[in-house]
């Protein structure tokens, strides 16, 4: 071919996909939280039909104290401490009269023992003085007790009295609720509000117990066992690497 001859080159036509305008991200797929919540309730009930509170107790007072101790502590550790605690001080009156140093020594291994001992002693005193040694069956009265918040009140009222006053929100419920797309919040009060709107009230108590058990057994913090989870087919796995 002569040096100056023109060459015809076939150029493939490339069709570019339309790109979204600058500054705008593609819309995220909307999650039907009502539908997912219904499935979660159903699957948890099938997986853990008989699960109850992991804190060992023989009375509302014992569960109240155990729940206060469980803050920033495992239930297993609390269950190791409470037998000796209640052997020495079995009633609110006895607990209120306990020397603070002795109380701190018994609960030392649960962490934050000074603040916990102070709250347990003050709470026991109020129970003995204002409620004849009985744990009140009213959520407002419960949360007015020293060291008692909504989580503790919901645990005691739901487990001991069968009262669905709210949904217990601990670290496990927080983690699972976010992964399942049931809430976008990290604040316990806001998460509880979302769950109370999604879960039928007659399921609040068992739902929380089952979520906590599932969080310990399957949906763990570091390495969730998704292949073993009965909810893997519909769980959006938000935040799961």
Q: Where do we find the tokens 């502590």?
A: 73
Q: Which of 170, 184, 194, 225 is catalytic?
A: 170
State whether 75 and 157 are in the same domain.
Answer: yes
Read off the tokens for 211.
């979520």
State whether 146 and 84 are in the same domain.
Answer: yes
Torsions phi, psi for 226 (to 5 deg): -55, -40
In a domain, 116, yes or no: yes
Q: Which of 151, 187, 193, 223 is catalytic?
A: 151
Q: Which residues does 182 contact at the CB level (< 8 Å), separation at least 6?
A: 33, 36, 37, 40, 194, 195, 198
Read off the tokens for 205.
């108590």
Read off the tokens for 101.
């140093």
Specify whether 151 is catalytic. Answer: yes
3-state secondary structure at position 150: helix
How far apart are alpha carbons 98 and 95 in whole angstroms?
5
In a domain, 117, yes or no: yes
Whole-number pLDDT of residue 27 = 53
In a domain, 23, yes or no: no
Whole-number pLDDT of residue 9 = 45
Whole-number pLDDT of residue 145 = 98
State whether 64 and 147 are in the same domain.
Answer: yes
Number of independent structural domains in the chain: 2
Task: Please answer whether residues 45 and 200 qualify as being in contact, where contact means their C-beta atoms are separated by less than 8 angstroms.
Answer: no
Whole-number pLDDT of residue 117 = 98
Q: Where do we find the tokens 């949360």?
A: 143
Strands (E), 56-127: none
Q: Which of 128, 161, 194 represents a domain boundary (last residue)?
A: 161
Q: Which of 115, 130, 161 represents a domain boundary (last residue)?
A: 161
Task: Please answer whether residues 192 and 152 qualify as being in contact, where contact means their C-beta atoms are separated by less than 8 angstroms.
Answer: no
In a domain, 153, yes or no: yes
Specify whether 170 is catalytic. Answer: yes
Task: Please answer whether residues 70 and 107 qualify as being in contact, where contact means their C-beta atoms are separated by less than 8 angstroms.
Answer: no
What's 39's domain CATH number?
1.10.1670.10
Whole-number pLDDT of residue 31 = 74
Cβ count near 156 (within 10 Å): 30
How far apart are alpha carbons 161 and 199 in whole angstroms?
20
Supply the range of the domain harboring residue 142.
60-161
Rounded to two decimals, what is the model's pTM? 0.83
Whole-number pLDDT of residue 74 = 93
State whether 205 and 223 are in the same domain.
Answer: yes
In a domain, 81, yes or no: yes
State whether 42 and 127 are in the same domain.
Answer: no
State whether 176 and 130 are in the same domain.
Answer: no
Torsions phi, psi for 160 (to 5 deg): -90, -35
Residues of the chain with pLDDT under 50: 1-2, 5-12, 14
What's 139's domain CATH number?
1.10.340.30
State whether 86 and 122 are in the same domain.
Answer: yes
In a domain, 181, yes or no: yes
Read off the tokens for 99.
């020397």
In a domain, 237, yes or no: no
In a domain, 154, yes or no: yes
């Amino acid at each position: 071919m002569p040096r100056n001859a023109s060459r015809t080159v076939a150029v493939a036509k490339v069709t570019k996909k339309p790109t979204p305008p600058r500054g705008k991200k593609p819309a995220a797929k909307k999650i039907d939280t009502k539908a997912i919540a219904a499935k979660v309730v159903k699957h948890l009930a099938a997986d853990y039909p008989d699960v109850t509170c992991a804190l060992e107790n023989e009375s509302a007072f014992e569960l109240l104290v155990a729940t206060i101790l469980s803050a920033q502590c495992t239930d297993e550790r609390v269950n190791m401490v409470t037998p000796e605690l209640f052997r020495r001080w079995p009633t609110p009156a006895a607990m209120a009269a306990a020397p603070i140093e002795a109380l701190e020594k018994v609960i030392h291994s649960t962490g934050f023992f000074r603040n916990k001992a102070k709250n347990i002693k003050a709470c026991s005193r109020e129970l003995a003085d204002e409620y004849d040694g009985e744990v009140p069956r009213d959520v407002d009265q419960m949360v007015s007790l020293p060291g008692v918040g909504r989580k503790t009140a919901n645990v005691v009222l739901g487990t001991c009295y069968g009262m669905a006053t709210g949904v217990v929100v601990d670290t496990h419920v927080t983690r699972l609720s976010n992964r399942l797309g049931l809430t976008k919040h990290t604040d316990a009060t806001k998460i509880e509000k979302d769950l109370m709107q999604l879960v039928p009230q007659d399921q609040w108590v068992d739902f929380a117990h089952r979520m906590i058990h599932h969080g310990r057994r399957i949906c763990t913090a570091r390495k969730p066992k998704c292949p073993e989870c009965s909810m893997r087919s519909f769980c959006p796995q938000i935040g799961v690497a």
